[in-house]
Structure 1
Amino acid sequence: MNKVTAFAAFAFAIGLSGCDRTEADAKQTVAAQLKDPSSAQFRNVITNGSIVCGEVNGKNSWGAYAGFTRFIAADEIVIMEPDGGEEHANARQSFDTSWSALCGPRKSYERRIAENERLIAEGEKLLEENR
């Protein structure tokens, strides 16, 4: 499945859902996908209309936290970021495309703010050095 097809299928499913998601509902649905739902830890959760995006960490079969993984939730649909193996390269690319389209604007805005803050700090440093 190419990335355009994957994105179109996800967008179609979202259109069919028609229901608004609350962050709490999305977290519950995402946690249910984990080996140990009660271990779910969330960060960087944003709501974009009826779509909830973020990162989740949960315990694996050995009881250790596996590391944060991005997710996209809409209604009862949850898509988790695929594993890092080479065999999942196409799935990761499709997920990244969906993430950029559905969750990206806020992230790119935050990156621009961070970049601007870095440039301002560099400029202030240069001004201080040249005084």
Structure 2
Amino acid sequence: MAKRIFLSHSFVDRALLNDLLQFFQARGGPVMATPTYMRTDLGEAGPERIRQAIREQMQGCAGVLLLVGDEAHNSRWIQYEMGVANELRIPKYRLQHPARTGGPPVAHAGMHEIPWSPREVAAVLNPL
């Protein structure tokens, strides 16, 4: 099975996710990993189902890459994902989208930031 990287993002900023997916080999980029992320908004399913789905997606991931757009700092689910990463001892990194000015959740502001560059992201994630 290929190495998996969990992509954490705010559903408000989900249009930015496509820009990040271009960094991965499946789309012609240099990052040698399979991106996994929450594809469906489970808001109607309730908080317990959302927590369960996040844990299922993150289980076995080699790293977590937080896509910082305009709303990452406000997302309680990103806060939760970063906490799960800590609990599972998954390395966390953040990537600021160049067209956005938001920041990460305050409690996780100190995580390693990777410049917005496919090569830079590959240099950090490929060795995981």
After TM superposition, the score normalised by the length of structure 2 is 0.26
Q: Which has the larger radius of gyration?
A: 1
